[in-house]
Amino acid sequence: MTISADIEDNAHAAFARSPFDARSPFDESVAGLYQALLVPILFEPYAAEMAILADRSKPGSVLEVAAGTGALTRALRGTLDPPTEIVATDLSQAMIDVGAPSVTMSRTHWMHADAQNLPFAPEMFDLVICQFGAMFFPDKVKAYGEAERVLRSKGRFLFSTWDSIEANDFARCVDDCLANLFPSNPPDFLRRLPYSYFDPGPIKAQMSSAGFKAVTCDRLELTSVAASAHDVAAAFCQGTLLRGEIEWRAPERMSEIVDAVAERLEARHGACPSGSMSALVVAGRAA
């Protein structure tokens, strides 16, 4: 039975009912700005590279976890062979609702799922892939173990995670500006989560603990470009969970803060800014 048939047949044992009705902090207003601004500025350049790496093993079936609004999903669909089955999953229904309409091609499916508790039978996929989601997994070894469980023998797990904030120009500039605006209690979301998971040693150890072999961890540096400094400021301040940290500290001042961040970005990186990005690309093979 194909993966497409499995998905259409809700009673099939390959797809267990998800045991939770989790609520992600991403609502549709955040997800919409994430898709409109953050995806082209940060995620599309890496999605193109990840899709090329994914295509090297010519997978027949792909599971994407923490797919967000589908930046990588779209790149995979445009790069992999047309018969390849892609299942894109995310914990946030809002992200799926925003992203799914942009990826409606055949053999592409969207599901609400937790990377730490995947609703799939063992050995269903040739490739599990994740772009900039691993940093958010509370139990990374459990999530990696789930990836290993659903992979076929010799299947690959491929994921990316941001390098340090100091190696990512736009994020560092936003973080610096917010630290100046809130000196006694600066928002720490960027350093605490998305830009916190970049030490190759622990990453490789966690992958090995989950059962992966031949684990590699390579740095990939790209350039980010944006139409305006204001787009970058709005993307970070309103299209990520940084939004809640700012609103908690300064209710009703979001517009003023975005303008201040945009001014700092323009001063440092120009009116049509470009900046360096750095990430780690991690790969491992199932037994």
Residue with tokens 């390959």: 14
Q: Which residues of 76-99 are buried (b: 16+ CB within 10 A; e: fewer)?
A: bbebbeeebbbbbbbbbbbbbebb
Residues of the chain below pLDDT 70? 1-26
pLDDT of residue 71: 98
pLDDT of residue 153: 98
pTM above 0.95, yes or no: no
pLDDT of residue 22: 36
Q: What is the mean pLDDT of the chain?
A: 93
Contact predicate 227/136, CB 8 Å: no
Contact predicate 134/162, CB 8 Å: no
In this structure, how many other beta carbons lie within 10 angstroms of the beta carbon of residue 250?
A: 14
Residue type, 250: A
pLDDT of residue 14: 41
pLDDT of residue 27: 80
What is the per-residue pLDDT across 31-86, written as a single tens digit (0 to 9) for each? 999 999 999 999 999 999 999 999 999 999 999 999 999 999 999 999 999 999 99
What is the CB-side half-sphere exposure of residue 24 using CA atoms within 13 A? 24
CA distance 62 to 110: 12
pLDDT of residue 104: 83
In this structure, how many other beta carbons lie within 10 angstroms of the beta carbon of residue 8?
A: 11
Contact predicate 165/175, CB 8 Å: yes
pLDDT of residue 78: 96
Domains, the chain, in order of start with CATH, read 3-285 (3.40.50.150)
- Taking Cα atoms as reference points, which of 119, 125, 69 lies closest to residue 96? 69
CA distance 79 to 108: 13
pLDDT of residue 4: 60
Report in angstroms the alpha-carbon separations of 111 from 18, 108, 186.
10, 10, 36
Report in angstroms the alpha-carbon separations of 281 from 89, 110, 141, 235.
20, 24, 17, 23
Dihedral, CA of residue 83, residue 74, residue 122 and residue 214, to nearest 10: 100
pLDDT of residue 67: 98
CA distance 129 to 174: 28
